[in-house]
Amino acid sequence: MPKINVYLPDELAEAVKQAGVPVSAVCQRALEQAVRRVAAIRQTVLSDLDLDVPTGALTHLTARARTVLKLAAERARAEGAASVGTEHLLDGMLTEGANLALHVLRAMDISLEQVKSDLARRQAPAANAEAGDVRSFGGPAANALEFAVNEATSLGHNYVGCEHLLLGLVAEPDGTAGQVLRALGAETRLTRRAVAAALAGYVHLRAQTQQADLAQGQGQIAALSAAIRSELQPLVQRLERLEAHVGLET
């Protein structure tokens, strides 16, 4: 039987030993579930994706996230790509234009125009596929979606939004989107902090504006970015103090 090494933080490894957790059985079960979810995503027929009545692996996606997938599929078809890549997902996110992931990037001082420019420069030449051939996600894109689901689960959310998709793209090691985002400073841990702060800032600003539409007007976009930064800064400071206390690098 093939062997796969699993690396754990020291504290978790010690806790696992003390609790007597059957590591092999737990890992096998988790991997089986992950494989099924990724397979379901890869087998999703994009041309049948219904924004109003989602089914299968895409049931828990928000309306904006489904719109991003639809835009990504359209971009991939226009380029003659054989499948949807992470670059198409990121392009779809930018094209949608009003999702929380974009506010997170702005709050991290990452220029959306720079993202667009770098993404266009890194995109590979399209394959010789006829328009309309795109019917599935490529491997890195499917993995990014799987990571997005895992991020949503770890945050205790019962939905998958564009902010989770951003985390999935950043975490995915091989795709073009992750390479672009990480090069601009969207490191996984910092992006996760920013998303948590964005969600807190979003709730705070919604309360202040009495359910005003946050997607309209540059002033409201700036207000949301400011709210994200105000929520993010004390969180980062607390985490850095804790990391310094235990001897970790920030």
What are the CA-CA distances from residue 117 to residues 68, 77, 138 (Å)?
19, 20, 22
Q: What is the pLDDT of residue 203?
A: 45
Which amino acid is located at 146 in the chain? E
**198 in Cβ contact with 241 (< 8 Å):** no
Q: What is the pLDDT of residue 78?
A: 87
Q: What is the pLDDT of residue 211?
A: 44
Q: What is the pLDDT of residue 204?
A: 45
Q: What is the pLDDT of residue 90?
A: 96
Instruction: Give the rounded distance of the alpha carbon of 242 from its chain centre.
Output: 26
User: Could you tell me which residues are beta bridge partners of residue 137?
Assistant: 84
What tokens appear for 123 in the block?
Answer: 């995109």
The closest alpha carbon to 169, from 99, 79, 248, belongs to 99
> In the chain, which residues have pLDDT < 50?
129, 203-211, 214-215, 217, 249-250
Query: HEC profile for the chain?
Result: CCCCCCCCCHHHHHHHHHHCCCHHHHHHHHHHHHHHHHHHHHCCCHHHCCCCCCCHHHCCECHHHHHHHHHHHHHHHHHCCCCECHHHHHHHHHHHCCCHHHHHHHHCCCCHHHHHHHHHHHCCCCCCCCCCCCCCECHHHHHHHHHHHHHHHHCCCCCECHHHHHHHHHHCCCCHHHHHHHHCCCCHHHHHHHHHHHHHHHHHHHHHHCCCCCCCCHHHHHHHHHHHHHHHHHHHHHHHHHHHHCCCCC
Rounded CA-CA distance 158/149 in Å is 9
Q: What is the pLDDT of residue 207?
A: 45
Q: What is the pLDDT of residue 250?
A: 40
